[in-house]
Structure 1
Amino acid sequence: MEPFYYMVFGALGAVVAVLELSKGTKDRINTPSAFNSFKNNYLLVYSLMMAGDWLQGPYVYFLYSQYGYGKGDIGQLFIAGFGSSMLFGTIVGSMADKQGRKRACVTYCITYILSCITKHSPQYKVLMLGRVLGGIATSLLFSAFESWLVAEHNKRGFEQQWLSITFSKAIFLGNGLVAIVSGLFGNLLVDSFALGPVAPFDAAACFLAIGMAIIMSSWTENYGDPSENKDLLTQFKGAAAAIASDEKIALLGAIQSLFEGSMYTFVFLWTPALSPNDEEIPHGFIFATFMLASMLGSSLASRLMARSTPRVESYMQIVFIVSSAALLLPIVTNFLVAPSKVKGGGISLSGCLQLLGFCTFEACVGIFWPSIMKMRSQYIPEEARSTIMNFFRIPLNIFVCIVLYNVDAFPITIMFGMCSIFLFVASILQRRLLVIAEKPIFFTEEDRELRERDPEMEPLNI
């Protein structure tokens, strides 16, 4: 493997180590043992859940190809997963709010374990069922666990600021360290032990089962709106009304969809971008490098959120602009660097520059996750948290399905340009969210009347 890859990985690792070891008192928040115990329990469960997800990711496409399916058939399987998440996501989110978030988390484990089991069959219909189950599980992973955490955190009377600690640690571990270790462990099972491409799925099922046992034995149940007279349709309408009536929630949903849509598109595009002429690139090592860059971002986010300034709404504008510029690199290098026409070989100069840009984008992803979690905890109403969060995923899944369906219809530079535009729009919407969030508002009509009588009265802020 070329020294360039080791240099990038080593540089990122050194920066992450320096950031973590150099944290001062301003970057840390002293918390009581009761909160630390609660936080560590959640982080253990979340890490196991993410291990179950990350172990599968690198081998899904490879497994389907080993069963003899072509690009078109595999594309339909991927579309089924995102389509399932879109169709059933809001339903399972509503059920989580009404029936209980703990139950939803257990359902995630069971659903994903069943999805892993289907990978043992080469039958297309069985694999399609697995993708549908996987889509449902993904919706629960990105809504039920966060909803349970926020509700339980508030129920136990912990400080609101402490949520940012759990969020940043969860992303640092779940989307960083666990992702790297999962990739290396999967590689060990498939290549070193020669257990075949289905082995990581079996390992994922084991981790999910362990996590489910911890959830069932140590978590308490919490709900959104437990009203007996509210069915799923009523909850669905209530969530839609909340989004329509509160511009902050609508902006947050649009920002999330734009960023995550660009992120999932990037997942499909980075391989052909770095090897347009079938250059030999170490996919697993590059994936680990991206995850290390994400860890760097989450480490930066934990520092930023530990301080009162700058606000999350403020620095996220810069994050979106930087991520937009990073995904413009494939277009810029296409014009400035003469493309190589030699098939095979090592990574090109253009590929090296793009890899650095992609690492920058992944660092932005690492900042994005805990920051968006923090904003969701502030603006999304508790009674319909899971429902609204899955509402946000509807446009995201539609977008990804369209991209997958038309992945061969447009040049790769057009696709990256589209993602860059989306991220720039997200920065504009983030600016609008900041302006609205800084506006002073009053809790009651009585406060308004007092303000009219005394214009110099200090306004109240939510």
Structure 2
Amino acid sequence: MEAYYYVVFGALAAVVAGLELGKSGKDRVATASVFNSFKNNYVLVYSLMMSGDWLQGPYVYYLYSQYGFDKGDIGRLFIAGFGSSMLFGTIVGSLADKQGRKRACITYCISYILSCITKHSPEYKILMIGRILGGIATSLLFSAFESWLVAEHNKRGFDPQWLSITFSKAIFLGNGLVAIVSGLFANLLAENLGFGPVAPFDAAACFLAIGMAIIMSSWSENYGDPSESKDLMAQFKVAAKAIASDEKIALLGAIQSLFEGSMYTFVFLWTPALSPNEEDIPHGFIFATFMLSSMLGSSIASRLLARKLKVEGYMQIVFSISAVTLVLPVVTNFLVPPSSVKGGSISFGGCLQLLGFCTFEACVGIFWPSIMKMRSQYIPEEARSTIMNFFRIPLNLFVCVVLYNVSRSSLLVQLFSPALILQARATQRFQHSSNTCVNCICR
């Protein structure tokens, strides 16, 4: 492995360690011991759930390519995942509100474990089923767990400000430290120990099973709308009415969809972007570096949230920086002509892009706890999971369109997502809308 990867990883690790060790009193909030126990339980479960997701990340594209599928075939597999999330996500989200968030979290574990098992088959149809199950699981991961946490936090009467602590800690560990270890562990299993690219998926299934056991033994059930007479369609109507009647909720959905759309497009395209001529790159180690960058971002976000800075204000800067980092491949393509030699090590242009991608991942680390904080303030409790999955419909539609055209348009054009620019403007409008709402309940 080239020294460049170690230098980038080591520099990021030093910055993260410095930020965490250098926290002052303004960056910390005093909490009760009973809340700390509750927080630690959730963070443990969330970390196990995310480890099941992160272990798969570095080798999804690579595994499919090893089975002999080209970029177009792989793109259709990804479309199946995002398409199932779009079609079934709102349904499972509404069921989570109605049938219970704990049950929905358990359903996530079962669906994702089954998805991991399908990775053992080189049959395209079996892999397609796995992607569909994975899409359903993803909808639950990014709605049911957060909905359970917010409802349980409020039910136990904890200080609303403490919710930001749980969000920041969960993202710092689950989307940061756990993701880094998962990337390195996946690299160890697949390459160093020679078990092949399917081994990380088996490990993911094991961690998901452990997390499911903790959920079943220690979590209580909570619901959205307590009305027993309200059916699934009525739940949809409540969510749609809330989005249509409150501009802040609609803009929040637009912000989330646009940013996550760019993020998931990046997940699919970072591998071919860094190795356009089949350069030999350490997928697991690069993935761990990205996650360390995300950890850096979540550390910054925890400081911002602890000091009660207005989320709508600083997120405009974050989205603008994200857009600049994703235009970097276009710039480097003009300034540094790509090599025509197949194989070899990462190019100079690839090194520059790697730095830009790390910056983008740092923005992702700031985004997650910040958007969670905004959702906890603005989204009504009775249809929280349903509304959050409504937000994922345009997100998945956007990604499906990009992936459908993955073999028809330039990789650089796909990677530079104008969605981030539109998103910065949506955030600006969101802030303006919030400023005009003097008596808003979330103030």
| TM-score (norm. length: structure 1) | 0.92
What residue in structure 2 maps to residue 196 of structure 1?
196
* CA positional deviation for 1:131: 1.5
* CA positional deviation for 1:380: 0.4
* Residue number among 436, 448, 455 corresponding to 2:433 in the alignment: 436
Q: Distance in 1 between matches of 2:118 and 2:410?
A: 34
Q: Is the 2:378–2:442 contact (alpha carbons within 8 Å) kept by the matching residues of 1?
A: no
Question: What does 1:370-389 correspond to in 2, within 5 Å?
Answer: 370-389=369-388
Q: Distance in 1 between matches of 2:382 and 2:349?
A: 50
Partner-residue secondary structure (3-state), 1:332: helix
What residue in structure 1 maps to residue 281 of structure 2?
281
Deviation sequence 1:110-147 (CA, Å, 0-9, x none): 11112222223333332222211111111000000000
Q: Distance in 2 between matches of 1:5 and 1:299?
A: 22
Question: What does 1:15-414 correspond to in 2, within 5 Å?
Answer: 15-308=15-308, 310-414=309-413
Q: Which amino acid aligns with 1:441?
A: V
Change beyond 3 A, Cα 1:250–1:414? same
Unaligned 5+ runs, structure 2: none
Q: Distance in 1 between matches of 2:392 and 2:49?
A: 20
Q: Distance in 2 between matches of 1:186 and 1:343?
A: 26
Q: Distance in 2 between matches of 1:461 and 1:117?
A: 43
* CA positional deviation for 1:72: 3.5
Matched, 1:2 2:2: yes
Q: Which amino acid aligns with 1:218?
A: S
Q: Which amino acid aligns with 2:424?
A: S
Q: Which amino acid aligns with 2:122?
A: P
Partner-residue secondary structure (3-state), 1:276: coil
* CA positional deviation for 1:398: 0.8
* CA positional deviation for 1:34: 0.5
Q: Is the 1:121–1:127 contact (alpha carbons within 8 Å) kept by the matching residues of 2?
A: yes
What residue in structure 2 maps to residue 446 of structure 1?
none
* CA positional deviation for 1:440: 4.2
* CA positional deviation for 1:357: 1.1
Q: Distance in 1 between matches of 2:411 and 2:98?
A: 43
Q: Distance in 2 between matches of 1:77 and 1:403?
A: 13
Q: Distance in 1 between matches of 2:302 and 2:36?
A: 16
Q: Is the 2:72–2:406 contact (alpha carbons within 8 Å) kept by the matching residues of 1?
A: no
Q: Distance in 1 between matches of 2:282 and 2:66?
A: 19
Deviation sequence 1:338-362 (CA, Å, 0-9, x none): 4433443332222222211111111
Partner-residue secondary structure (3-state), 1:327: helix
Q: Is the 1:99–1:226 contact (alpha carbons within 8 Å) kept by the matching residues of 2?
A: no
Q: Is the 2:72–2:407 contact (alpha carbons within 8 Å) kept by the matching residues of 1?
A: no
Using the TM superposition, name which of 184-193 and 106-115 deviates more: 184-193
Q: Which amino acid aligns with 1:315?
A: Y
Partner-residue secondary structure (3-state), 1:160: coil
Using the TM superposition, name which of 341-350 and 78-87 deviates more: 341-350
* CA positional deviation for 1:191: 2.6
Deviation sequence 1:331-383 (CA, Å, 0-9, x none): 22223334433443332222222211111111000000000000000000000
Q: Distance in 2 between matches of 1:228 and 1:157?
A: 25
Using the TM superposition, name which of 181-190 and 297-306 deviates more: 181-190
Q: Distance in 1 between matches of 2:146 and 2:117?
A: 26
Unaligned 5+ runs, structure 1: 444-459
* CA positional deviation for 1:399: 1.0
Change beyond 3 A, Cα 1:388–1:3? same
* CA positional deviation for 1:442: 4.1
Q: Distance in 2 between matches of 1:362 and 1:296?
A: 9
Q: Distance in 2 between matches of 1:58 and 1:106?
A: 25
User: Which protein is bigger by CA-based radius of gyration?
Assistant: 1
Deviation sequence 1:71-110 (CA, Å, 0-9, x none): 4333322211111111000000000001110111011111
Using the TM superposition, name which of 296-305 and 123-132 deviates more: 123-132
Q: Distance in 1 between matches of 2:131 and 2:437?
A: 47
Change beyond 3 A, Cα 1:268–1:198? closer
Identity score, percent: 78
Q: Distance in 2 between matches of 1:113 and 1:344?
A: 35
Q: Which amino acid aligns with 1:423?
A: L
* CA positional deviation for 1:13: 0.5
Deviation sequence 1:421-440 (CA, Å, 0-9, x none): 21121111111111111224
Q: Distance in 2 between matches of 1:306 and 1:139?
A: 29
Q: Distance in 1 between matches of 2:261 and 2:71?
A: 21
Q: Distance in 2 between matches of 1:413 and 1:198?
A: 29
* CA positional deviation for 1:269: 2.1
Using the TM superposition, name which of 84-93 and 183-192 deviates more: 183-192
Q: Distance in 1 between matches of 2:169 and 2:139?
A: 21
Deviation sequence 1:222-274 (CA, Å, 0-9, x none): 11002111111111111111111100000000011110111111122222222
